[in-house]
Amino acid sequence: MAFDQRFEVGLGERVVLENTGTEITFSAVTHDYRCPCDVQCIQAGEAGIVLTVTDSLGNDSQVFITIPGLILTPYRADDATGHGNRHFRLMRLNPYPNTGQDQSVQDYRALMMIESVLDDRGV
């Protein structure tokens, strides 16, 4: 998977960042309080996920990302979550809540983008 390209990952699945040896695993859905699409809510709510980032030396760290409810997707706001020299964007989390559907946590899929953030020296 390359920087600055959209990719989709399911809960428990892992992707590898090109030329880095870094692995990104969609580890958990921490909460999904988004207003169901077939209900009129006072607040849109939000959903949150955890990514586990494993560097080329095997060191793990976690990234927590949220996405608001009732938005057009793919979501592209200026509120990416920073982690080291990378920005993580959660652009869509499916399935979206619907009162008429049963959802299993294993059904979750995230549309993501990871952007490289370099300093003035290109590092």
Note whether residue 89 is domain-resident: yes
If one counts the domains in the chain, the total is 1
Q: Which pLDDT band, with edges at 50, 70 and 90, does 118 fall under?
A: low
- Do 45 and 68 meet the contact criterion of CB atoms below 8 Å apart? yes
Q: Average of pLDDT values for 54-79?
A: 88
Residue 87 structural domain: 7-116
Note whether residue 2 is domain-resident: no
Note whether residue 121 is domain-resident: no
Mean pLDDT of the chain: 89
Q: What share of the chain is helix, strand, coil (3-state, %, to 5)?
A: 0, 45, 55
pLDDT at 123: 44
Note whether residue 122 is domain-resident: no
Task: Find tokens 């370099």 and name the residue.
Answer: 118
Distances (CA, A) of 2 to 50, 57, 75, 81, 113: 20, 20, 19, 18, 9
pTM, two decimals, is: 0.86
> In this structure, what token pair is assigned to residue 96?
């979206």
pLDDT digits (tens, 9 = 90+) for 77-117: 766 788 888 899 999 999 999 888 877 888 999 999 999 87
Note whether residue 123 is domain-resident: no
Note whether residue 53 is domain-resident: yes
Note whether residue 49 is domain-resident: yes
Q: What are phi and psi of 109, to 5 degrees?
A: -135, 140
Residue 45 has pLDDT above 60, yes or no: yes
Note whether residue 18 is domain-resident: yes
